[in-house]
Amino acid sequence: MAADLRTRLGHIELPNPILTASGCAGSGRELAQFFDVSKIGAIVTKSVMLAPRAGRPSPRMAETPSGMLNSIGLQGPGVDAFLQRDLPWLLSRGARAVVSIAGGTVEEYAELAGRLSDAAGVTAIEVNISCPNVEHRGQVFACDPGAAAAVIEAVRGRARYDIPVFAKLSPDVTDIVGIARACVSAGADGLSMINTLLGMSIDPDTMRPALAGLTGGLSGPAIRPIAVRCVWQVREAFPDVPIIGMGGVRTGQDALELILAGASMVGVGTTIFHDPSACVRILRELDEELAQRGVERLSDVVGLAHEPRAAARRKRAGTVL
Amino acid sequence: MEAGPVQVRGTVLTVRRIDAYYAMTVVAPGVAARFRPGQFVAVAVGGPDTSMLLRRAFSIHDVRPDHGGTVEFIFAARGRGTRWLAQCRARDVLDVTGPLGRPFPVPRDPVSCLLIGGGYGSAPLFPLAARLRERRCSVDFLLGAATGDRVFGALTARRTGRTATVTTEDGSLGNRGIVTDMLSQVIHEARTDVIYACGPMPMLRQVTALASRYEIPVQALVEESMACGIGVCMTCVLPVAGSDGITRMVRSCVDGPVFRGQQVRWDDIGTIPFDAFGAPGWEPRPRQRAAQASNAAGPGGPAAASAQAGDGQSRRPPGRAGHGS
């Protein structure tokens, strides 16, 4: 019947592997109108920055085939308001809070890690390194192994020892394994992937870019094969590093695909805009998918796609997988 | 959160053509029961395996108790999503969330209300009119569109309003021109205390500008494009000045869609005003810092940046600004 869905976020055990993807669930409050936020593995918050931020001008989004482009620009009230209002609210609901942080300098990331460590109740920190480095001509941290490592090292150094630090990787790189290696060497307890891909859309009526910010992040089912590829490659290189897989997950079967590629947790993002109760639905569907295949423990199938011989052996033994 | 929105699988009852628009009625019990005028639904389009991920938001035009509760909304089949909706038939099933957003505030006293609609923006004004009449307010309509077939609800307005004025740009129905051409005259004749308006942004901006000249408060329902409708995607923001004087980028889905017209910075829509909360280089002044701290500590309400702006405006009864009697 129901499979054992427990999984590990670093040393912390989660009841199940379904998380929200950062930026698609606010701080959980809005989604709580549609489902019990304590029922999923964790709420990954919208990226928190030190100072309040107004974001980019509108229009901020454009629909694309099986996806969307967004250029929100990390609008948010800043870490003070987050710690005062959002985090206590999440905890009061019994939700596990994975706090995504974003910054423009290494020091800003480190300071955020420190602030979050001083507050009680942060389950883990996810470091959104897909931000322009203001001290380095705006080059995105996630696109340079050295810069990515510097951020992770600073965050790991400042975060309390028992708070796992996950680095969120961008797929817009030539060698994602290289960036993953840099982050793991710098002390990341795990990796999240993938962030959005940079895209653009032009409105044929106005004959101008559809987004005020010109370019935007592409998300949704359109990018799922890229997510599967990234998770696969990184798992192949670092089989022991926990991965939160995300990118276009819409159904329990999609979640299973990322799990088979090597993710031990799965983030649900853009699909939430389409279906606000998607997280609990996908959790239920994943449970059913595992049950149909006779899988008793989620951990048995994490990264299973990498082991063709093992799978074949089980098949011979009569277990349908 | 008993008054919050629900997500339902709603069966389509009817899809009717009304002039240039479509009216769709869907059985959506929880939505109908919670509805207050000004609120909207967000509808998933394209069926279960759709490539269109974003919900389409529509103001609710009518709710009825039959079949356990139905909602009706009006739309123009302009894009791929709305064309798909237009070809839906009775008994098709739609995923509907609602009712969403803050409703129109209604005055406590029996005042003179002018309801202004541009195109099918007039749709949410009819349930509002019914509510206002319950409060013994008088209701005048001013409806406009480019052509006569795009004026939504002119007949109902004539039947139910104390007066109904219609303008079309081509003169095919009512007076030739746009609504703001007639606004001063209507305000004088109706002795308007409060204006409720819904339509394109330029219309709302002009209505607000004119009404401000007469010091008449405006409640404007904005039609910003949205991805989710529930406040998580942050795409539908616009600059609104809060009662503390600070401009914030607030979400039209949860902090609106109804705003006090005088607080919306219409000319700055599509930009981040330099003095907006959190704009590049923005620094809190000492006074703002204090306001920010006290607001952030306040209970309830959506995300900090927006709750403050929202609180001051959409809940305030419009008749209160000293224009009654």
pLDDT at site B316 = 36
Same domain? For B66 and B123 the reply is no
Domain finish residue from B51, B70, B100: B100
Q: Is A290 exposed, middle or buried (0-12, 13-18, 19+ CB in 10 A)?
A: buried
**Is residue B295 assigned to a domain?**
yes
Same domain? For B11 and B91 the reply is yes
**Is residue B125 assigned to a domain?**
yes
DSSP annotation of A209: E
Residue in A closest to B300 by C-alpha: A85
Same domain? For B297 and B206 the reply is no
Q: Has the ipTM of the complex gone over 0.85?
A: yes
Q: For chain B, what is the mean pLDDT?
A: 86
Asked if residues A18 and A282 have their Cβ atoms less than 8 Å apart, the reply is yes
Same domain? For B58 and B118 the reply is no
Q: Residue range A261-286: average pLDDT?
A: 96
- Across the A:B interface, residue pairs with CB atoms under 8 Å apart total 141
% residues pLDDT > 70 (chain A)? 96
**Is residue B301 assigned to a domain?**
yes
3-state secondary structure of A316: helix
Domain finish residue from B100, B130, B148: B100
Question: DSSP letter string over A121-140?
Answer: TEEEEEEE--SEETTTTTEE
How sure is the predictor about B93, in pLDDT bands with cuts at 50, 70 and 90? very high
**Higher-scoring residue by pLDDT: B324, A169:** A169
Same domain? For B15 and B80 the reply is yes
A20-52 pLDDT, tens digit each: 999 999 999 999 999 999 999 999 999 999 999
Please tell me the total count of domains within chain B: 3
How sure is the predictor about B225, in pLDDT bands with cuts at 50, 70 and 90? confident
- Residue B308 pLDDT > 50, yes or no? no
3-state secondary structure of A160: coil
Q: Is B201 on the interface with A (CB under 8 A)?
A: no
Question: DSSP letter string over A77-137?
Answer: --HHHIIIIIHHHHHHTT--EEEEE--SSHHHHHHHHHHHHHSTTEEEEEEE--SEETTTT
B9-43 pLDDT, tens digit each: 999 999 999 999 999 999 998 999 999 999 999 99
Same domain? For B90 and B121 the reply is no
Range of the domain at B193: 112-223
**Is residue B318 assigned to a domain?**
no
Lowest mean pLDDT among A173-187, B46-60, B158-172, B299-313: B299-313
A187-225 pLDDT, tens digit each: 999 999 999 999 999 999 999 999 999 999 999 999 999
Q: Are A57 and B279 an interchain contact pair (Cβ–Cβ within 8 Å)?
A: no
> What CATH number is associated with residue B90?
2.40.30.10
Gap between the Cα atoms of A172 and A61, Å rounded? 19
Q: Is B170 exposed, middle or buried (0-12, 13-18, 19+ CB in 10 A)?
A: exposed
- Residue A301 pLDDT > 70, yes or no? yes
Contacts of B41 in chain A (CB under 8 A): none
Same domain? For B258 and B172 the reply is no
pLDDT at site A136 = 81
Q: Are B305 and A271 an interchain contact pair (Cβ–Cβ within 8 Å)?
A: no
Through-space distance between the first and last CA atoms of chain A, rounded to whole angstroms: 15
Gap between the Cα atoms of A57 and A71, Å rounded? 9
Sign of CA dihedral B32, B34, B38, B41: negative
How sure is the predictor about B97, in pLDDT bands with cuts at 50, 70 and 90? very high
**Is residue B151 assigned to a domain?**
yes
Same domain? For B176 and B272 the reply is no
**Is residue B323 assigned to a domain?**
no
Gap between the Cα atoms of B272 and B282, Å rounded? 11
Same domain? For B52 and B130 the reply is no
The domain segmentation of chain A, as residue ranges, is: 7-316
Please tell me the distance in Å from B13's CA to the nearest CA on chain A. 22
Q: Residue range A299-311: average pLDDT?
A: 84
> Which helix H or strand E contains B145, and what residues bound it?
strand B138-145
Same domain? For B117 and B190 the reply is yes
Gap between the Cα atoms of A138 and B316, Å rounded? 44
DSSP annotation of B103: P
Gap between the Cα atoms of B275 and A167, Å rounded? 34
Rounded to 10 deg, the angle between the B179-190 and B201-213 helix axes is: 40
**Higher-scoring residue by pLDDT: B161, B308:** B161
Residue in B closest to A46 by C-alpha: B232
Nearest to B271 among A27, A57, A80 (CB): A57
Q: According to the CATH classification, is domain A7-316 in 3.20.20.70?
A: yes
> What CATH number is associated with residue B170?
3.40.50.80
Q: Residue range A99-122: average pLDDT?
A: 94
- Residue A319 pLDDT > 80, yes or no? no
* φ, ψ (nearest 5 deg) of residue B101: 85, 170
How sure is the predictor about A19, in pLDDT bands with cuts at 50, 70 and 90? very high
How sure is the predictor about B310, in pLDDT bands with cuts at 50, 70 and 90? very low
B186-206 pLDDT, tens digit each: 999 999 999 999 999 999 999
Q: Are B233 and A24 an interchain contact pair (Cβ–Cβ within 8 Å)?
A: yes
> Which helix H or strand E contains B167, and what residues bound it?
strand B163-168
Domain finish residue from B196, B223, B250: B223
